[in-house]
A = this chain, B = another copy of it.
């Protein structure tokens, strides 16, 4: 069995240290950011990604700017513009900006993250039946947070409590966070999993091979609409079509009360090259997220409990 996981992201004295997720699952190596520009580059290229981890990255970015004597508001703006969809990024930036000691605050944000995720897992176990076959999309694991995970947190809490879940892992095109990251995490945890093309999910449901869906979130609007990795919405429609419960596991920092509904959530459009080769001159639309309307969400799993409404 592999050793203990390092934190996905941590404060290392005068710099931000994080797992370079671009190199997973091949190798587990750390990379440091010493400047805001370096950190922004690591965020844009998804060396670090996942809404809760981006919250920590935002706070630590402000911490970095403060120890370097950079302009904090310029740093904040630069950080927030890297990934427009994840609510947590701006949330983490704001927390550190508002603190007397941004470094201490950033370290607090990171420490709270694992505790929050464990609470999400503890509450989430209640929705997981014995021997549940769970489908998840993208990576909402320890790698999307400081550790433990949100959607994967629910699965591992169920695993640890003896419910013996097994997991269908959507590949998650184009960046393959499911095949590369979620499968790697579940395998390390000893939780049985099978990687499938995103397009197989509906067919697995039709065959009675899925008991529930649990995913993370990048931003949850005040009305409960959920932005998450592109493909989540199609999974939610298919789950509803087959009468399968669809859960969203996320910390309160992903809920954005200032955003009334999903149509107001900015959807990041990423480099078309991520989708791989297409014939020269052919257009590619690489929207990275989609919005699942609240009425397709069976319940939200947060550190406060399991609730059918976004307000908990």
Contacts and interface: CB of A to CB of B under 8 A. Distances in A.
Contact of A275 (B195, B237, B277): B195
Interface in A15-49: 25-26
A71 interface: no
Contact of A197 (B174, B187, B195): B174
Nearest to A181: B279
Contacts of A194: 282-285
Contact of A187 (B234, B241, B281): B281
Nearest to A286: B197
A103 interface: no
Contacts of A168: 285
A278 B234 contact: no
B199 A231 contact: yes
Nearest to A198: B199
B200 A287 contact: yes
Interface string A268-310: 0000000111110111111100110000000000000000000
A156 interface: no
Tell me what chain A mostly uses at the interface: helix, strand, loop, or mixed: mixed
A244 interface: no
Given A197-B230, A202-B233, A171 B275 contact: yes
Contacts of A199: 172-173, 198, 229-231, 234, 290
Contacts of A171: 173-174, 275-276
Given A200-B290, A234-B234, A276 B193 contact: no
Contacts of A196: 275, 284-287
Nearest to A282: B183
A290 B172 CA distance: 18
A284 to B, nearest CB: 5
A201 interface: yes
B230 A237 contact: no
25 contacts: A168-B285, A171-B174, A171-B276, A173-B173, A174-B197, A176-B276, A179-B278, A180-B277, A183-B278, A183-B282, A184-B282, A195-B284, A195-B285, A196-B285, A196-B287, A198-B198, A198-B199, A199-B229, A199-B234, A200-B285, A200-B290, A202-B237, A203-B230, A203-B234, A240-B241
